[in-house]
Copies of this chain bind each other. A is one copy, B any other.
Amino acid sequence: MPIHYDFASDNAAPAAPEAMAALARANRGFVSAYGSDATTTRAATLIRELIDADAVVRFLSSGTAANAIACAMLARPFETVLAFAQAHVVNDEAGAPGLFGHGLGMTPLAGTAGRIEAAALATALSRPDTPHHQPPGALSLTNATEYGACYTNDQVDGLVATAREAGLGIHLDGARLANAAAAGFDLRRLGRSGVDIIILGGTKAGLPAGEAMIILDRALERRLDARLKQAGQLASKARFLSAPFVGMLEDGAMLRHAAHANAMASRLAAAMPFPLVHPVETNIVFAAIDDSALRHLHAAGWLAYRAPDGSVRFVCSWATTAERVDELAEALCAARDRSGQS
């Protein structure tokens, strides 16, 4: 029986045609290396337009590295980064911030559906600054969150203001920023929000690979390329990392695809026979499914994983079709019936 990876993660999806076409178009002739080529320049311009801000933009191959390097740019080894307790950067990166940040700490904050609560941030900032504990150097936000929720611009502005007042740098993990934007999060307001570094995810948005590091605090620009080179994140044939961004951004394909993914998640949520655990605001659905039902679902060929909070996660992507959503919903109903979960 074939295994259906469709909803296992958005990185199970193929690359979008606009990304692949741009890759093919960029593959012409000899060009300068390390990011000084025309394709990479064009991609950076498109990203500045997307957020309507004068930012430094670089293209990295890995979201893990991009987020970890951003943390290391904002917090020193004897400082800590405040983040949602189950944020990817805290929980799913095998300790990358500690490696790239040479021992920097990650301090988990409480929240709901992946959104940090203002009170949790305030409490963390009120702790005394002693030499025995790593004091906070930065705040890391994720939008859309790991639990598929979407911060509003007001919420982000509020957290950013609190953190900046305490002298923290701000990082935004935007692995699914396109999904947030498609759900109404204003990227132009984000560009003026006081966030220092945004990582705009390409991989989960339909590129073959690649994340854009968007640096809004120009004081961080000095010797940035040496920093990236040392970290193995300065691509020599940069056009192949940047071209898919051109393809996905120049006619709005990235947001269009993200809106589709979000719509597919809504469709799945509507048909979900198990209780929803988090609000479905972007492209992910979390449901309370017991072990027996999950085994039945797996037995039917559908891959799905438990999240750290115990719920089962289903991720939609640009490539998810309504037909597959309906097939999954049917399989979920069957699994529920067979398991007897009520």
Residues of A within 8 A of B (CB): 3-6, 8-9, 11-15, 20, 23-24, 27-34, 60-66, 68, 76-80, 91-105, 129-135, 203, 208-209, 223, 225-237, 240-241, 303, 319
A34–B237 alpha-carbon span in the complex (Å): 22
CB distance B33 to A14 under 8 Å? no
Residues of B contacting A3 in the complex (Cβ-Cβ under 8 angstroms)? 32
A97 CB → nearest B CB, Å: 8
CB distance B237 to A131 under 8 Å? no
A311 CB → nearest B CB, Å: 17
CB distance B99 to A209 under 8 Å? no
Minimum CB distance partner of A97 in chain B: B103
Task: Give the most central of A63, A65, A208: most B CB within 10 Å.
Answer: A208
Other-chain contact of A27, B14, B68, B135, B237 (Cβ < 8 Å): B14
Task: Give the most central of A27, A226, A228: most B CB within 10 Å.
Answer: A226
Given A12-B31, A76-B223, A131-B34: A203 and B95 within 8 A (CB)? no
CB distance B131 to A228 under 8 Å? yes
Other-chain contact of A78, B30, B92, B223 (Cβ < 8 Å): B223
Other-chain contact of A31, B5, B103, B229, B233 (Cβ < 8 Å): B5
Which are the 5 A-B pairs with shortest beta-carbon distances?
A: A65-B232, A98-B103, A131-B225, A99-B103, A208-B240
CB distance B28 to A77 under 8 Å? no
A82 CB → nearest B CB, Å: 14
Residues of B contacting A231 in the complex (Cβ-Cβ under 8 angstroms)? 65, 96, 99, 232
Residues of B contacting A80 in the complex (Cβ-Cβ under 8 angstroms)? 95
27 CB-based A-B contacts, threshold 8 Å? A5-B30, A8-B30, A12-B30, A12-B31, A15-B27, A20-B27, A23-B23, A24-B24, A34-B131, A64-B230, A64-B234, A65-B232, A77-B99, A77-B227, A78-B99, A78-B227, A79-B226, A94-B133, A98-B102, A98-B104, A99-B102, A103-B230, A131-B223, A131-B229, A133-B226, A203-B237, A232-B232
A29–B66 alpha-carbon span in the complex (Å): 27
Residues of B contacting A11 in the complex (Cβ-Cβ under 8 angstroms)? 33, 236-237
CB distance B24 to A6 under 8 Å? no
Residues of B contacting A232 in the complex (Cβ-Cβ under 8 angstroms)? 60-62, 64-66, 68, 96, 100, 231-233
CB distance A133 to B24 under 8 Å? no
Residues of B contacting A96 in the complex (Cβ-Cβ under 8 angstroms)? 103, 229-232
Residues of B contacting A6 in the complex (Cβ-Cβ under 8 angstroms)? 30
Other-chain contact of A62, B61, B130, B319 (Cβ < 8 Å): B61
Other-chain contact of A235, B61, B98, B223 (Cβ < 8 Å): B61
Task: Give the most central of A33, A61, A79, A98: most B CB within 10 Å.
Answer: A98
A135–B91 alpha-carbon span in the complex (Å): 12
CB distance A237 to B223 under 8 Å? no
CB distance B229 to A94 under 8 Å? yes
Residues of B contacting A104 in the complex (Cβ-Cβ under 8 angstroms)? 95, 98
Residues of B contacting A134 in the complex (Cβ-Cβ under 8 angstroms)? 94-95, 226, 230
Residues of B contacting A12 in the complex (Cβ-Cβ under 8 angstroms)? 30-33
